[in-house]
Structure 1
């Protein structure tokens, strides 16, 4: 049955419920005028029915095999794959600017999608590999247009590969969220110094409270004779004072002291 036939200004469609409402539905909608969709999908018919769609936030739970579909106008895609199904495998999105992926079976899937679509991405958020897949084994596919990069749930080993990140000339924001394990602070400081004129924001959020060596990171006790500017915290403070927005810590606590604040202060 037809619905909303007399709603010429309808642009956004949100179908959410505790049990999920899946497309396709048993009634028709003014698909051609839709520019935003949020909900669950059983197949990819949405991307055929709504050629003017600009933004999609979706859970993808296919009930059959799907073929690859090209949507020429989609600008933003956020996936919420709770079932472990990778929607990127079935889409080619040449106009995509913003991509947030909640599930990846492997980084090869993301690399294949980016190489196939060649999108002018501005922001990218995806789940990392907690087992430490080398970043440089797939990161070459990242487009040079990228300004914001977020990697979630990754191990600290090999987290930052300067050869890849240096190939992103427009990168302004770099976020590592839910990091497991320690970090090479000296490499981190060296990298941030090399990018301080370009990188506006650097954020690293550990999954659990890390163990930080106070003498190395914080400069040790006052009688140690170590100058604060020669410590990791001193270098980070200097970078922050130059204008870089830096956050190191957990979701509840900051471990980055600015101006001599104590290590491990609560972040509010």
Structure 2
């Protein structure tokens, strides 16, 4: 597969593919095994990977510079379409399979998740997208990424500012207000954001390693720290699910001995 995009965007796609191969694919296998075992964390993790894949592969398909730059990615469209449809199915079916009685975590963890989501929304909008958007309006020639590949530039802004940021704001505010629906949504949502953060951190690292003109060592370090924070918070969120599964197994075992 040869992407029809600029070297800068290609570095980002290579980083995204590396994260998908090393991190996301193994997590998908883990989710499948957990679902087969009936573990409550299975559908939560599966739905998160579905959200990640829908977001990522929509950009892979739409964000190419077709007819303008060389490549052959359009011949791989059936494969990318299959991944996209399977990701949609995983998202919907996993959400339907998530237990209605998910354990609630402590109020402190709930606030930490809310701060993480609201902080991510602020960083994406104020720290990442608005400044580059202003530069694109005022002096577009100063940005290699924009001049070489304007399509993915605006595609990412549309999806981040139109989907990720509003959802993070809504769920974050819901968590602070103690809404029951937010406590249910935050499990798959925060896990999906963790996967996306890992992917973006991988992109930034690849750009630095390849001496990309738009690379930023500070940005790469920031994304790595953010990814580690999200991973840690996600692990904390999943602890009640593991405890609930262990309690359910003990109860089943005791019922069997009683009978």
TM-score by length of 1: 0.20
| Greater fraction of residues in helix | 2
| Greater fraction of residues in strand | 1
TM-score by length of 2: 0.20
* Higher RCO, 1 vs 2 (CA within 8 Å, ≥6 residues apart): 2
Which structure's CA Rg is the greater one? 1
